[in-house]
Structure 1
Amino acid sequence: MPSKKVLIVLSDADSFPLKKTSGPDAGQTVDQPSGFFLQELAKPLQKLLDNGHEVTFASPKGKEPTPDPNSVSLLAYAGNFYERQRENDLMERMKAENGFTRPRTFSSISDEELSTFAGVFIPGGHAPLADLGDDPELGRILRYFHKENKPTAAICHGPYALLSTKKAGDGSFVYDGYKITSWSDAEEKAVETLLGGEVEKVESSLRNAGAVMVEGVPEKFGGTTLHRELVTGGNPLAANALGDRFVRMISV
């Protein structure tokens, strides 16, 4: 299989806004620690590398990405120490070999350079809520992949970044009418109960922009949704299936 280039979009944020509804900070918006969700990045990334593809990391300002603290716990891996170690080792390798600690800035990637990429992937974690949904340079990038019908993948909170297309070009949401699966409002409400605060809802935000949200039992347990060039998944359980589907799309 010929090697192809894939752009991986990351957030610069190490937290996301949480409007507290209980406790001493009730009524205030606080910074809740977050970052990229390790499994949602590592599993598709490993599949891309296993198939000989080259990856380039990019973010709004080129800061070193931060893992979501919850995603690196043994609980997130259901106690599977070896799986967690493999994925941590992969990220250490990326730091040494692939410029993971210094991502490209979105603005440094010209439209001409975008033509050299076969696809784009956006992992989740709550961090995209902080800086990806309203980034005009990311909007420009995603509009390019949409216009060229090039494979685009996003998982969990990653689909929130698709809203950035409203900040570029003519201001329209280019995924209007697309079937999309993301972290659901119901799942977010469970998180809100644990954190005692309100969080921006990915599902509702995309639906309000014009997306047709696909949520149900299959999507909760690892299913993915494909519509034209866009493949999406709802939570970490979809990471393997999303990676497989994305690899097949860019290999055509």
Structure 2
Amino acid sequence: MTNQSMGKVLVIGSNATRIEVRGNKWGATGQYLNETVVPAMALEAAGYEVVLATPNGNKPTIDPASDAAAHFDNDEAAYKAARDYYDNGPAMNAPRTLRSVIDEGLDHYVGVFFPGGQAPVVDLMQDGEVGEILRHFHEAEKPTALLCHGPIALAAATDDPRAFRAALIAGDEAKAREWAQDWTYKGYRMTIFSATEEKVVEDHILHAKMYFDMPQALTAAGGVVETSAVDFEPHVVVDRELITGQNPRSDHPIAKALVAALEARQTA
């Protein structure tokens, strides 16, 4: 980085490598490569310093389903550049723990970004430290961006995120709503990976059914969830400080929206 950094942006990754599916089974999971590196690279290109943090301080596992040029419009050069950035880039190879970032002080960060892949459904959505981080950025009105499955991490800002998630897995949506009565993002417009998009993953990658779909979960929490009419079309929703993208193909649009929000806040 140059000495003229525009500020630090926190990128919060997941440490999950498997996810519960119906039938008391588990499926392999991880973080999507393009959803992680496209926004991170855009932030660095705009002059921001990227700081990666995860619950346990280990680097996230990339979901093999995302490790292909197909997620970069079949551009082999773009895919290789992304892979090199993730494998060798300084920002991707000095992960912090969430706790260390909190203890050092969240005032050091101008924005926060959560990539997707299904992994956040496992750990980030029920992590109390994620909730602590989200509430800081909400109260400070600092840009908060989440992509694909990433917006499920917003559930960490419910009253009891572990209980909220357990209720969803048990199929008790009424109980889930009770645990989210004072949710930080109640009434916010947002998007997330749609139920019909999830079915493609269930059918072709997991070969199993999830316990709940993402719009169902955020709606139960109190969000106003908007998904595109056409699956896998880029779709970004901005409401106040919150910036959400629906699917992997929303990687470049959400990066653009996040950089614009950061610049707007700095010039306000």
Report the TM-score, using the length of structure 2 for normalisation.
0.84
Aligned to 1:185: 195
2:127/2:156 contact within 8 Å kept: yes
Letter of the 2:49 partner, please give it.
Answer: E
d(CA) in 2 for partners of 1:120 and 1:235?
18
d(CA) in 1 for partners of 2:99 and 2:119?
20
Aligned to 2:128: 136
| CA deviation profile, 1:88-135 (whole Å, cap 9, x unmatched) | 1111232xx23x345211112236610110000000001111101010
For the structure 1 residues 102 and 108, does the alpha-carbon distance in structure 2 shift closer, same or farther, using more than 3 Å as the test?
same
1:40 to 27, 30, 35: 35
2:87/2:93 contact within 8 Å kept: no
| CA deviation profile, 1:51-94 (whole Å, cap 9, x unmatched) | 11101111111112110101112343453211210111111232
d(CA) in 2 for partners of 1:227 and 1:29?
37
Matched, 1:196 2:188: no
For the structure 1 residues 79 and 216, does the alpha-carbon distance in structure 2 shift closer, same or farther, using more than 3 Å as the test?
closer
d(CA) in 2 for partners of 1:6 and 1:120?
5
Instruction: From the two aligned structures, give the one with the greater helix fraction.
Output: 2
Identity %, equivalent residues: 34
Aligned to 2:12: 9
Letter of the 2:20 partner, please give it.
Answer: P
| CA deviation profile, 1:161-212 (whole Å, cap 9, x unmatched) | 0000115799731111011111011111222223331113111100111000
For the structure 1 residues 241 and 219, does the alpha-carbon distance in structure 2 shift closer, same or farther, using more than 3 Å as the test?
farther
Aligned length: 241
2:32/2:117 contact within 8 Å kept: yes
1:219/1:233 contact within 8 Å kept: no
| Structure 2: 5+ residue stretches without partners | 162-178
1:192/1:198 contact within 8 Å kept: yes
| Structure 1: 5+ residue stretches without partners | 20-26
For structure 1, which segment, 114-123 or 81-90, has the greater mean C-alpha deviation from structure 2 after superposition? 81-90
For the structure 1 residues 102 and 90, does the alpha-carbon distance in structure 2 shift closer, same or farther, using more than 3 Å as the test?
closer
Runs of 4+ displaced beyond 6 Å: 168-171
2:146 to 145, 150, 154: 154
Report the TM-score, using the length of structure 1 for normalisation.
0.89
